[in-house]
């Protein structure tokens, strides 16, 4: 068991230490990818802007050449050559008729078909205005170009052939600063590559590819960053954030270790506290409205720590339940009460309420524990009342019923504690052997006037009367609350209005004096 606990502790500390570091690695990697993608997007936008600017000039030229429709080549050749020389982008410009080049700025009147000029097939499905990137042209076969063509219904066409060198220079200038591999494609044609050639060697980190499309023309730009770009950006982020992640990791390890120590040591602390007699019992009297005197008391366990401070009962009892220590703690409570009761002077029929958990009821020693305690205090003729929460009734219902009925046949009384705060079905009130129902202090605290209605509280009281259960109102602190409960037939009350919890010796003194006096609501 100890080895398993140590292994679990080591696992928790390892997770606590690694979690900030792994998160830092993940977040800086994601941030690095986003930075690289933003840089690629900027590069792609610049490429498309340049390509669009060249396309604008090309389309302007194509539109301008329409005026040469119907003219012969000698009539237009000088103008074509003059226009082409004014714009360095153009490899050539020219016109066509019936699918044949009739005049161009570079070849004059030499005729040829479009396939020959493009050194490849013409797009089968094309619009009147179309563009296409090609691997080379008739005049310059080893360098890509982009053709811009305008076809008219009378089979006259004008075109502008843009040399790719200007695009390649720009792509190289932009790509070399980041080591990008860049490509442009016009009209779904040939892919014009620029920048660095993609690195095909295996790499730990992948290369990142981004594709952007022009909003104005069918132009696609692709930018591929090398793995080194992502690695450098990621490393920069790690240098910035990893020291903080390491500090946070150490802090988380310290916090987790402290939490584990506190959690793991709770059973040991409770065992040591039992051995050192750090636990004690306080008793809070219960008032009988009908008789006007004390009816009994509820036993409440208290824990004074070695430093003199008192532990909160709700915290250490919850911890005992979670850590499997509630049964030993309850047995210790019974031992303390039995020891203190030796010197008691109490009237016969004095009610003694004991808080019992579902874990204890399901324990094999439960019946034995209660019988043994009853035998130890039998000379006082006490009415022992086991106060159970609604959760205790829900767990293993048939077995609980059998055990409670057995004890009830032996004179033990059964009460539901803090009724209304759990999830117990109302049918359980008829199924289980019950004698008392304790109304949770939350419902009592809501009483502000004897004239106001408290529908839920009234329903609980009415239901208890119907089932012939005696009612105990918890947490009564004002005379208004007392009068409200008294008017509705509640028999017992418990709270600061009547008495606070007190030690055994103080309880005996209190019973002799205040306990025999009626509680007035004035």
Mean pLDDT of the chain: 87
Decide if pLDDT at 91 tops 70: yes
Domain boundaries along the sequence of the chain = 1-268, 277-516
For residue 419, give both structure tokens: 């009724």
CATH homologous superfamily, domain 1-268: PAS domain (3.30.450.20)
Helix (H) or strand (E) holding 231: helix 227-275
432: three-class secondary structure by DSSP: coil
Decide if pLDDT at 319 tops 50: yes
317: three-class secondary structure by DSSP: helix
- Put the strands of the sheet holding 219-225 in their side by side order: 191-195, 181-186, 219-225, 208-213
Summarize pLDDT for 202-225 with one digit per residue, the tens.
556 777 889 999 999 999 999 998
Strands 181-186 vs 219-225: parallel, antiparallel or unpaired = antiparallel
pLDDT band at 509 (very low <50, low <70, confident <90, very high): very high
Q: Give percent of the chain with pLDDT exceeding 70.
A: 92
493 C-beta neighbours (distance < 10 Å), count? 25
Helix (H) or strand (E) holding 236: helix 227-275
Residue 408, Cβ density class (10 Å: 0-12 exposed, 13-18 middle, ≥19 buried)? middle
Greater confidence (206 vs 81) lies with 81
- The Cα–Cα gap between 258 and 56 comes to 70
Q: Which residue has the tokens 């259960």?
A: 469
In this predicted structure, what is the pLDDT of residue 4? 44
Q: DSSP per residue over 258-286, as a string? A: HHHHHHHHHHHHHHHHHHTT-EEEEEEEE
Greater confidence (378 vs 257) lies with 378
Summarize pLDDT for 110-144 with one digit per residue, the tens.
888 888 888 888 887 778 899 999 998 888 888 99
Residue 142, Cβ density class (10 Å: 0-12 exposed, 13-18 middle, ≥19 buried)? exposed
In this predicted structure, what is the pLDDT of residue 322? 85
Decide if pLDDT at 3 tops 50: no
- Give which of 47, 30, 22 is closest to 230, Cα–Cα: 30
Summarize pLDDT for 436-493 with one digit per residue, the tens.
999 888 889 888 887 777 888 888 899 889 989 999 999 999 999 999 999 999 999 9
Summarize pLDDT for 151-182 with one digit per residue, the tens.
988 889 999 999 988 888 888 888 887 788 89
Summarize pLDDT for 328-385 with one digit per residue, the tens.
999 999 999 999 999 999 988 899 999 998 889 989 999 999 999 999 999 999 999 9
Same fold, 1-268 and 277-516: no
Fold of the domain spanning 277-516: TIM Barrel (3.20.20)
Report the helix count and the strand count for the chain, using DSSP H and E.
16, 18
- The Cα–Cα gap between 509 and 494 comes to 18
101: three-class secondary structure by DSSP: strand
pLDDT band at 198 (very low <50, low <70, confident <90, very high): low
CB-based contact 255:248 (threshold 8 Å):
no
In this predicted structure, what is the pLDDT of residue 392? 65
Decide if pLDDT at 429 tops 80: no
Q: What is the mean pLDDT of residues 194-201?
A: 67
In this predicted structure, what is the pLDDT of residue 6? 62
Helices (H), 120-212: 165-176
Strand partners, 419: 439
- The Cα–Cα gap between 136 and 149 comes to 16
Distance set, CA 286 to CA 109, 204, 342, 345, 492 (Å): 121, 75, 21, 17, 7
Residues with Cβ within 8 Å of residue 223, at least 6 apart in sequence: 40, 43, 44, 47, 175, 180, 181, 182, 209, 210, 211, 212
Helix (H) or strand (E) holding 504: helix 504-512
């Amino acid at each position: 068991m100890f080895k398993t606990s140590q292994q679990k502790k080591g696992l928790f500390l390892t997770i606590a230490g690694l979690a900030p570091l792994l998160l830092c690695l993940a977040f800086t990697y994601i941030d690095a990818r986003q930075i690289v993608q933003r840089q690629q997007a900027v590069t792609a936008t610049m490429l498309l802007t340049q390509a669009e600017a060249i396309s604008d000039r090309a389309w302007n030229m194509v539109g301008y050449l329409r005026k040469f429709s119907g003219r012969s080549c000698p009539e237009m050749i000088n103008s074509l050559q003059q226009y082409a020389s004014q714009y360095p982008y153009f490899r050539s410009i020219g016109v066509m008729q019936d699918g044949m080049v009739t005049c161009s700025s570079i070849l004059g009147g030499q005729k040829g078909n479009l396939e020959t000029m493009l050194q490849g097939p013409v797009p089968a499905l094309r619009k009147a205005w179309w563009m296409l990137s090609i691997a080379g042209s008739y005049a310059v076969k080893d360098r890509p170009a982009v053709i811009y063509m305008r076809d008219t219904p009378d089979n006259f066409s004008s075109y502008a052939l843009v040399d790719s060198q200007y695009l390649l220079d720009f792509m190289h200038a932009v790509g070399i600063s980041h080591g990008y591999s860049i490509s442009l494609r016009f009209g779904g044609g040939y892919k014009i590559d620029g920048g660095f050639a993609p690195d095909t060697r295996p790499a730990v980190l992948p290369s990142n590819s981004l594709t952007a499309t022009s909003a104005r023309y069918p132009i696609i730009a692709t930018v591929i960053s090398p793995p080194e770009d992502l690695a450098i950006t990621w490393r920069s982020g790690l240098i910035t954030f990893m020291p903080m992640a390491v500090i946070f990791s150490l802090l988380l390890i310290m916090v987790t270790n402290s939490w584990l120590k506190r959690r793991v040591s709770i059973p040991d602390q409770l065992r040591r506290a039992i051995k050192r007699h750090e636990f004690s019992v306080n008793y809070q009297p219960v008032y009988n409205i009908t008789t006007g005197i004390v009816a009994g008391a509820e036993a409440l366990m208290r824990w004074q720590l070695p430093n003199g401070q008192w532990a909160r009962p709700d915290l250490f009892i919850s911890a005992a339940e979670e850590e499997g220590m509630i049964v030993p703690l309850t047995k210790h409570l019974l031992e303390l009460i039995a020891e203190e009761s030796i010197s008691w002077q109490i009237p016969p029929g004095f009610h003694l309420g004991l808080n019992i958990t579902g874990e204890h009821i399901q324990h094999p020693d439960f019946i034995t524990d209660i019988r043994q305690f009853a035998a130890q205090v039998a000379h006082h003729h006490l009415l022992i009342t086991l106060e159970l929460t609604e959760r205790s009734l829900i767990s293993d219902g048939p077995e609980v019923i059998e055990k409670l009925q057995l004890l009830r046949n032996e004179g033990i009384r059964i009460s539901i504690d803090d009724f209304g705060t759990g999830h117990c079905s109302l049918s359980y009130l008829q199924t289980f052997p019950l004698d008392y129902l304790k109304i949770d202090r939350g419902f009592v605290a809501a009483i502000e006037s004897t004239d106001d209605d408290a529908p839920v509280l009234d329903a609980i009281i009415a239901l208890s009367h119907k089932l012939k259960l005696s009612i105990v109102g918890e947490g009564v602190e004002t005379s208004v609350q007392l009068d409200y409960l008294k008017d509705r037939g509640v028999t017992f009350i418990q709270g600061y209005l009547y008495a606070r919890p007190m030690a055994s010796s103080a309880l005996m003194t209190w019973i002799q004096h205040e306990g025999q006096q009626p509680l007035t609501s004035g």
